[in-house]
Amino acid sequence: MRASLIQIAVDPDESVNSRRDRVASLVSDQRGADLVVLPELWPVGAFAYTAFADEAEPLRGPTHDLMAKAAADAGVWLHAGSFVERADDGTLYNTSLVFTPEGERAAAYRKIHRFGFDKGEAVMMGAGEDLVTVALPQTTLGLATCYDLRFPELFRGLVDAGAQTLVIPAGWPERRRAHWTLLAQARAVENQAYVLAVGTAGTHAGVEQAGHSIAVDPWGEVLAEAGAGEEVLTVEFDPAGVTATREQFPALKDRRLGLAPPSSGR
Ligand SMILES: NC(=O)CCC(=O)C(=O)O
pLDDT band at 266 (very low <50, low <70, confident <90, very high): confident
Give me the pLDDT at residue 41, please: 98
Longest dimension (CA), the chain: 66
128 pLDDT exceeds 90? yes
Which residues share a beta bridge with 90?
Answer: none
Helices and strands (DSSP H and E) totals, the chain: 7, 14
Instruction: Name every residue whose Cβ is closer than 8 Å to that of residue 150 and which is 6 or more positions away in sequence.
Output: 113, 179, 183
Taken in order 135, 139, 145, 150, the sign of the CA dihedral is: positive
Considering the segment(s) 2-252 as one domain, its CATH architecture is: 4-Layer Sandwich (3.60)
Instruction: Tell which one of 172, 176, 177, 183 to mutate to probe ligand 1, the residue whose CB is within 8 A of the most ligand atoms.
Output: 172
d(CA 83, CA 91): 13
What is the SS3 assignment for 201?
A: strand
How close is the Cα of 147 to the center of ligand 1, in Å? 4
* Confidence (pTM): 0.98
Does residue 46 have its Cβ closer than 6 Å to ligand 1? yes
Give me the pLDDT at residue 264, please: 80
Told to judge if 55 belongs to the known catalytic residues of this protein, a careful annotator would answer no
Instruction: Name every residue whose Cβ is closer than 8 Å to that of residue 211 and which is 6 or more positions away in sequence.
Output: 7, 174, 199, 200, 201, 226, 227, 228, 229, 231
Give me the pLDDT at residue 263, please: 87
Helix then strand then coil, % of the chain, to nearest 5: 30, 30, 40
User: Which of 55, 85, 146, 230 does the annotation list as catalytic?
Assistant: 146
Cα-flanking dihedrals φ and ψ of residue 191, to 5°?
-105, 0
Of 95, 92, 87, 88, nearest to 111 (Cα)? Answer: 95
d(CA 248, CA 72): 38
Which residues share a beta bridge with 133?
Answer: 142
Told to judge if 57 belongs to the known catalytic residues of this protein, a careful annotator would answer no
Residue extents of the structural domains in the chain: 2-252
Q: What is the tens place of the pLDDT at every residue in 59-88? A: 999 999 999 999 999 999 999 999 999 999
Does residue 39 have its Cβ closer than 6 Å to ligand 1? no
How close is the Cα of 168 to the center of ligand 1, in Å? 12
23, containing H or E segment: helix 16-28
